[in-house]
């Protein structure tokens, strides 16, 4: 049992209320907290907020639409959205902002639903735009769309259950008796606790016909009727049979979407007029802008958003000679112009979330709709039976109208009228009440005979209704008839086209890159220049920022790859073709910006990996060196950044590419030099290996530099050469240290 904490004695004397305060503090197991506090909240979010039910609505949707229905907005004119929001708060206590956002999503103006339920007037924003936000509720107006008649047609015929609202002042429906499978027609997204739902929309006519086919044969060919999802933003579904089958059968999977476009040859521009439902115009523009700025997309001279009242339009101006088909293939591959809709058909069935395929959803909707129709028929049957019962009592009055009048006239007290009629004609209390309420002008044979003519008609109708309740086939026939009526009134053509993979031109696996020789210059400040031989011959002195200088230069090809090592033990991969050619008088490309490195990250070294044979020798301050196989930096995917590219145990002081074994010189802070062969180090496949000791260092001494022996000023090579490692080396003589740094810069400059 948890124990109450004992209050401090001193605290009790100083504050007499402390005992009451501490008495409320209890130790509680975390498992109890989860069970008592968290689980009810999680279940509330799942059941009462985020996951749609079989009618296709979440509670927030249902509360809003029912409020509008009770306000008379199905047939009346529009009213201010603020008025609707205020009225809805009687059912939905989550606040006006949440209610208005719900209305926006259901509105015709926002264009999120194929069958919008709110007929809106004013600015309600657009689902395909991130920046086109909706106006405040005081500026917009709304009413229910005509299709809402299919949601509320039978709501007063006991088709669904009603429950109290949050303060028990009025009733609200638990579901709406939709006469069509709205759960598949309206797109729906919700994130609960530990689960989510993401239902794509399908064409109204196709869904209704699929349901009609299911009513006739549950094993019908679903794919021939319900062809593919349909979205309000249009575009095209890339019909991959396996992916579609997975979504239809399991309720989970991914469906590829892509934009629609046209080419204006006269103006040399591309107009994108429909985009995937999953993205926005701004997201596409941002991605294209990033590609253009990084030099990966040079065919575009300008791109702008020309969306207006006629609809979405993104215009792309092309440079001269650009093939629009090839450009769009690249854009589909690298931007959200081609995207995927991740399906998760998670629906509440009798309060339990279930992920279902489409055939199972149709089965559950059919069972629910059959029950709704039966409840409606039973309610109608009850009314007709009650009416028949009253008319049969009236029929007995016909036998002697004068007697009925005499009984009423001779009865002294009003309360005795009904009992006397019951005794006089052998009718029950309900029938007697009905007779007693007949107006004096209607107590004539003509009126009564006309009423009695309805008895035969009522008896036939009652027999027919009872037959419907007995026969499932007749119930399904009613559902079919209502579905046909929905198709006739509200069906619209598909908005999203269907294309098959074989109809799409396969994009080139790799863009053709113009190949030519270049010289790469990399400065200590992180700037990189790529200069062609012709430009190099015509150039003068290399230009650098004040305080910056050349670190390394080498000859390469424009098609070569580039490895960039940073001071965060990371390696970035790039293509020289993506870096613009420049001149000696230019500073070049600043690699931390070009490669979008992390804040404060600096480039230390670059190298050409070639065909990823050979190795890379890394020297650290602590005297250790690691020889890493370049094959470890080759990746099969398009990864642009490799973490843990080398060890972080000691600062790095030198890089040395090793195609074939050579001799290298390591310099220390106390003026020593060690000349060793790279053959003494075995290449390691592990990139972040700590390496092996090469230089033996005295206390507080470090290695300062690593150079190929051929690029040093060492003349007495035998004095510093070692046969084994680690070694302390020898103190440099004056003739061997002559112009050490200048010779390095001079060599690079000559290159």
Segment 650-654 mean pLDDT: 89
Segment 248-253 mean pLDDT: 95
Residue 711 backbone zone (phi > 0: left; psi -120 to 50: alpha; other: beta) = alpha
CA–CA separation, 697 vs 347, rounded Å? 69
Whether 143 and 76 have beta carbons less than 8 Å apart is answered as yes
User: Do both 682 and 732 map to the same domain?
Assistant: yes
Segment 659-665 mean pLDDT: 89
The last residue of one of the domains, among 143, 158, 178, is: 178
CATH of the domain at 382: 1.10.268.10
Q: Which of 140-149, 224-233, 515-524 has the lowest mean pLDDT?
A: 515-524
User: Do both 444 and 580 map to the same domain?
Assistant: no
Parent domain of 651: 517-750
Four-CA torsion 279, 283, 287, 293, nearest 10 degrees: 170
Kindly list the distances between the CA atom of residue 482 and the CA atoms of 149, 428, 475, in Å, as whole numbers in the listed order: 12, 39, 11
CATH of the domain at 78: 3.90.199.10
User: Do both 434 and 550 map to the same domain?
Assistant: no
CB atoms under 10 Å from CB of 228, counted, come to: 22
pLDDT given for residue 714 in this prediction: 86
Residue 739: pLDDT over 60: no
User: Do both 620 and 729 map to the same domain?
Assistant: yes
- Is residue 647 in a domain? yes
Residue 139 is a catalytic residue: yes
- Is residue 435 in a domain? yes
pLDDT given for residue 202 in this prediction: 96
Residue 247: pLDDT over 90: yes
pLDDT given for residue 475 in this prediction: 96
User: Do both 577 and 621 map to the same domain?
Assistant: yes
pLDDT confidence tier of residue 5, bands split at 50, 70 and 90? very low
- Is residue 23 in a domain? no
Whether 179 and 153 have beta carbons less than 8 Å apart is answered as yes
pLDDT given for residue 7 in this prediction: 46
Most confident region among 62-66, 164-168, 421-425 by mean pLDDT: 62-66
Residue 746: pLDDT over 70: no
Which residues lie across from 257 on neighbouring strands?
A: 237, 339
CA–CA separation, 11 vs 324, rounded Å? 81
pLDDT confidence tier of residue 510, bands split at 50, 70 and 90? very low
- Is residue 58 in a domain? yes
- Is residue 705 in a domain? yes
The structure tokens listed for 531 are 């200069």
pLDDT confidence tier of residue 233, bands split at 50, 70 and 90? very high
pLDDT confidence tier of residue 122, bands split at 50, 70 and 90? very high
User: Do both 415 and 323 map to the same domain?
Assistant: no
Residue 353: pLDDT over 80: yes
Buried b (16+ CB within 10 A) or exposed e, 511-537: eeeeeeebbbbbbebbbbbbbbeebbe
CA–CA separation, 126 vs 323, rounded Å? 32
pLDDT given for residue 42 in this prediction: 77
User: Do both 651 and 592 map to the same domain?
Assistant: yes
User: Do both 278 and 420 map to the same domain?
Assistant: no
Segment 195-205 mean pLDDT: 94
Whether 720 and 714 have beta carbons less than 8 Å apart is answered as yes
pLDDT confidence tier of residue 120, bands split at 50, 70 and 90? very high
Q: Which of 52-66, 115-129, 391-405, 559-573 has the lowest mean pLDDT?
A: 391-405
pLDDT confidence tier of residue 27, bands split at 50, 70 and 90? confident
Q: Which of 110, 128, 139, 248 is catalytic?
A: 139
CATH of the domain at 734: 2.120.10.90
pTM as predicted:
0.67
Mean pLDDT, the chain, integer: 87
- Is residue 687 in a domain? yes
The structure tokens listed for 573 are 């991969």
Q: Which of 123-132, 422-431, 535-544, 546-555 has the lowest mean pLDDT?
A: 535-544
pLDDT digits (tens, 9 = 90+) for 70-93: 999 999 899 999 999 999 999 988
Give the chain's domain count: 4
User: Do both 702 and 580 map to the same domain?
Assistant: yes
pLDDT confidence tier of residue 745, bands split at 50, 70 and 90? very low
User: Do both 465 and 549 map to the same domain?
Assistant: no
User: Do both 534 and 656 map to the same domain?
Assistant: yes
pLDDT given for residue 13 in this prediction: 47
Cα 467 → chain centroid = 49
- Is residue 139 in a domain? yes
The last residue of one of the domains, among 474, 489, 504, is: 489
Q: In percent, how much of the chain has pLDDT > 70? A: 93
pLDDT digits (tens, 9 = 90+) for 362-390: 999 999 999 999 999 999 999 999 989 88
pLDDT confidence tier of residue 638, bands split at 50, 70 and 90? low
- Is residue 636 in a domain? yes
pLDDT given for residue 26 in this prediction: 61
Whether 421 and 438 have beta carbons less than 8 Å apart is answered as no
pLDDT digits (tens, 9 = 90+) for 440-455: 777 777 777 777 778 8
| Cβ contacts of 415 within 8 Å, gap of 6 or more | none
Residue from 342, 56, 289, 324 nearest 188 by CA: 56
User: Do both 591 and 734 map to the same domain?
Assistant: yes
pLDDT digits (tens, 9 = 90+) for 558-610: 888 899 999 888 889 888 888 888 888 888 899 998 888 888 899 999 988 88
CA–CA separation, 87 vs 96, rounded Å? 10
Residue from 402, 19, 165 nearest 5 by CA: 19
């Amino acid at each position: 049992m948890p124990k109450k904490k004992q209050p401090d004695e001193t605290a009790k004397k100083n504050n007499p209320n402390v005992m009451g305060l501490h008495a409320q503090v209890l130790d509680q197991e975390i498992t109890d907290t989860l069970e008592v506090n968290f689980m009810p909240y999680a279940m509330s979010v799942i059941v009462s907020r985020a996951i749609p039910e079989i009618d296709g609505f979440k509670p927030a949707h249902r509360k809003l639409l029912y409020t509008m229905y009770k306000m008379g907005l199905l047939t009346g004119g529009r009213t201010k959205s603020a008025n609707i929001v205020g009225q809805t708060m009687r059912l939905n206590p989550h606040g006006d902002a949440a209610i208005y956002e719900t209305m926006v999503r259901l509105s015709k103006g926002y264009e999120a639903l194929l069958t919008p339920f709110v007929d809106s007037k004013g600015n309600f924003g657009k689902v395909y735009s991130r920046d086109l936000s909706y106006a405040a509720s005081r500026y917009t107006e709304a009413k229910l769309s005509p299709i809402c008649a299919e949601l509320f047609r039978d709501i007063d015929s006991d088709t669904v259950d009603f429950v109290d609202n949050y303060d028990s002042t009025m009733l609200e429906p638990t579901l709406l008796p939709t006469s069509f499978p709205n759960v598949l027609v309206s797109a729906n997204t919700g994130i609960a606790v530990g689960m989510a739902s993401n239902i794509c929309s399908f064409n109204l006519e196709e869904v209704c016909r699929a349901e009609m086919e299911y009513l006739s044969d549950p094993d019908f060919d679903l794919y021939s009727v319900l062809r593919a999802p349909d979205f309000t933003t249009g575009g095209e579904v890339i019909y991959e049979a396996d992916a579609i089958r997975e979504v239809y059968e399991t309720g989970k999977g991914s469906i590829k979407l892509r934009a629609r476009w046209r080419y204006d040859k006269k103006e040399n521009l591309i107009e994108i007029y429909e985009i995937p439902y999953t993205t926005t115009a701004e997201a596409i523009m941002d991605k294209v802008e990033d590609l253009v700025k990084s030099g990966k997309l040079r065919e575009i001279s300008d791109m702008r958003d020309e969306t207006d009242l006629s609809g979405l339009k993104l215009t792309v101006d092309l440079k001269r000679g650009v093939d629009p088909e090839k450009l769009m293939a690249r854009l589909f591959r690298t931007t959200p112009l081609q995207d995927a809709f991740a399906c998760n058909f998670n629906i509440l069935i009798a309060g339990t979330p279930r992920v279902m395929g489409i055939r199972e959803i149709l089965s559950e909707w059919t069972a629910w709709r059959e029950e709704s129709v039966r409840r409606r028929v039973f309610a109608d049957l009850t009314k007709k039976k009650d009416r028949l019962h009253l008319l049969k009592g009236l029929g007995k009055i016909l036998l002697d109208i004068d007697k009925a009048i005499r009984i009423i006239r001779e009865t002294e007290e009003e309360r005795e009228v009904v009992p006397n009629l019951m005794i006089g004609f052998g009718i029950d209390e309900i029938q007697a009440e009905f007779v007693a309420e007949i107006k004096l002008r209607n107590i004539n044979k003509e009126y009564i005979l006309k009423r009695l003519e309805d008895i035969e008609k009522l008896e036939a109708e009652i027999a027919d209704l009872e037959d419907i309740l007995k026969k499932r086939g007749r119930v399904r026939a009613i559902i079919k008839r209502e579905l046909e009526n929905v198709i006739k009134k509200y069906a619209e053509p598909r908005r999203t086209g269907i294309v098959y993979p074989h109809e799409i031109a396969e994009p080139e696996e790799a863009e053709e890159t113009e190949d030519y020789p270049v010289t790469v210059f990399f400065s200590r400040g992180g700037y990189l220049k790529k200069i062609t031989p012709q430009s190099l011959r015509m150039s003068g002195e290399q230009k650098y920022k004040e305080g910056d200088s050349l670190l390394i230069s080498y000859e390469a090809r424009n098609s070569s790859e580039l490895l960039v090592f940073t001071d965060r033990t990371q390696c970035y991969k790039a293509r020289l073709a993506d870096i613009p050619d420049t001149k000696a008088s230019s500073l070049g490309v600043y690699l931390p910006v070009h490669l979008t490195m992390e804040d404060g990250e600096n480039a230390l070294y670059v190298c050409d990996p070639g065909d990823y044979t050979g190795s890379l020798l890394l020297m650290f301050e602590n005297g250790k060196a690691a020889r890493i196989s370049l094959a470890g930096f080759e990746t099969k995917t398009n990864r642009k950044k490799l973490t843990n590219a080398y060890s972080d145990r000691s600062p790095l002081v030198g890089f040395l590419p090793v195609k074939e074994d050579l001799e290298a010189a390591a310099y220390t802070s106390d003026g020593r030099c060690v000349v060793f062969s790279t053959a003494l180090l075995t290449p390691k496949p592990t990139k972040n290996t700590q390496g092996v000791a090469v230089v033996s260092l005295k206390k507080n001494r470090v290695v300062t530099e690593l150079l190929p022996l051929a690029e040093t000023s060492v003349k007495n090579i035998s004095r510093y050469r070692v046969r084994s490692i680690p070694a302390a080396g020898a103190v440099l003589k004056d003739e061997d240290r002559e112009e050490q740094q200048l010779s390095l810069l001079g060599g690079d400059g000559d290159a």
